[in-house]
Chain A
Amino acid sequence: METYPPHPHPQEMETHLVTLKINGEHHSINIRPWVSLLDCLRDHLDLTGTKKGCDHGQCGACTVICDGKRILSCLSLAVMKDGAEITTVEGIATENGLHPLQQAFIDHDAFQCGYCTPGQLCSALGLLSEGRASSREEVKELMSGNLCRCGANVGIIDAIMQVKDGGSDE
């Protein structure tokens, strides 16, 4: 079992054993208390689909689904997620191919550079399972935590509306 960060800290610091179920797979790691869930996923577990944008909770690029709820992995400590079940963008496709939301993003040109897309997808899946949004205005309001600097927002909302309404474009 490895310890992250791997380099010895000048001051001897404790590590904590954390067990996470990520995309259906169990992972146990020893981790320093200040490592964010985001850094844990990307740097230790090589799950680099989740992106680091601002690292301050302002952009939503790091959004993952934790115990059924969308959260920001950059403002979560891995040590506080012991036992949690986490879904990242790597875990949303099905055996039969892309998740319908991923296909809808393609259909609606819902990205350009793609950097915000993993966070947009996880956030939108959270929104769909919450069931709090019925109108387009409500979807926009509840997706406001995910910024897209390319300006693909119209396509993103179109894609979510399509999946929410079971396939229709309106």
Chain B
Amino acid sequence: MNSFKFLAVPDVPAAVQLSDDQPLAAFIAGGTNLLDLWKYNLAHPTALIDISQLAALSELRELENGGFRLGAAVKNAETAYHPIIESRYPLLSKAILAGASAQIRNMASNGGNLLQRTRCYYFYDHQVPCNKRVPGSGCPAREGYNRMHAILGASEACIAVFPSDMCVALAALEARVNVSGVDGERSLAFADFHRLPGERPELDNNLKPGELITSIDLPEKGFPLNYSYLKLRDRHSYAFALVSVATALEMDGNTIKEARIALGGVAHKPWRSLEAEEFLREKTACRETFAAAADIILKGAVGLEYNHFKIKLAKNAIIRNGMMALDPDTQLPGAQPSM
């Protein structure tokens, strides 16, 4: 059996020092993904460093620059239901509540949400090769049952998708990720946090070994008036997205002043197209406009045997979610299509 030690630490410096001293240790906050991976023999930590109670990671607070800080150890549910998140960043609230189940959202941490691993079935199956699990061993998904897999940004080595809903909204909102390591602290733009698989699909993100996410900072602008999160999946609730869309608009009448669109379920990281967002500037918000933007976003999309439908599904989802963002009050529980 995979046994591990359990290590309590008083603060962040002690946590990152311990992590540096013990490269095979893992941080644990909520544990909802780590313990699942451990049970599947996919994570083999020699020790768990408990960061769940660290005060520096447990705050939800306003920042001097007008933004808002999400502590890495704060639970997803507490974040989604926080009055400021609900009122100023409702896109983030809706996206979090579209993910997992009520129980898991009560357990899962904000930092852990960024670090969850793909749900590619081949990644979980020790009987078959997987470049993400065993680098260089091959990828059966490309020729296999690839219904849930990537249509954008994939590589020969890996077509896995990143499963988070919360991160799709964080990408659209241009959050920043604050991390701490033995060499000090740094802050990454959300777009630079996760990575595309390329030749190194075993790396999900750009964290350095031993680094700890301490918080996620939201900028002041939260797009509270025109936003929508749409999640399309194989069952009504509690399933990962085939395609999801986070749309945030700043409107002047029916004219788009600023647009953010991020896709989930289609790539190794939340997918954005700055070209499409620039295209939308000063355009009239209507189906035709969003359709043209969708064509830009999906430029270069590649469908495989079982997931080619996702290209059309993504286009229709972008159009529909653009229209839903114009009337956010119509949104249904669970980010279902409402119009």
A→B interface (CB under 8 Å): 9, 11, 13-14, 16, 32-34, 36, 55-57, 60, 63, 69-72, 75-77, 79-80, 123, 126-127, 130, 132, 135, 137-138, 140-146
Contacts and interface: CB of A to CB of B under 8 A. Distances in A.
B333 interface: yes
B332 interface: yes
B6 A137 contact: no
Contact of A55 (B39, B100, B238): B39
A91 B299 CA distance: 57
B214 interface: no
Given A36-B35, A76-B31, 8 more contacts: A16-B6, A55-B39, A57-B104, A70-B103, A71-B107, A75-B35, A126-B103, A143-B102
Interface residues of B, number: 32
Nearest to A119: B103
Interface in B89-135: 100-104, 106-107
Contact of A60 (B50, B103, B237): B103
B6 A79 contact: yes
B39 A140 contact: no
A123 B101 CA distance: 11
Interface in B1-26: 1-6
B106 A69 contact: yes
Nearest to A140: B237
Given A33-B48, A70-B102, A71-B106, A77 B3 contact: no
A75 B107 contact: yes
B197 to A, nearest CB: 25
6 contacts: A32-B3, A34-B3, A56-B40, A142-B102, A144-B236, A145-B104
Given A70-B103, A145-B101, A34 B238 contact: no
Q: Which of the listed residues B1, B32, B106 has the most CB atoms from chain A within 10 Å of its own CB?
A: B106
A75 B28 CA distance: 12
Contacts of A135: 333
Nearest to B100: A145
Contact of B36 (A13, A34, A56, A79): A56
B102 A145 contact: yes
Given A55-B39, A69-B106, A75-B36, A144 B238 contact: yes
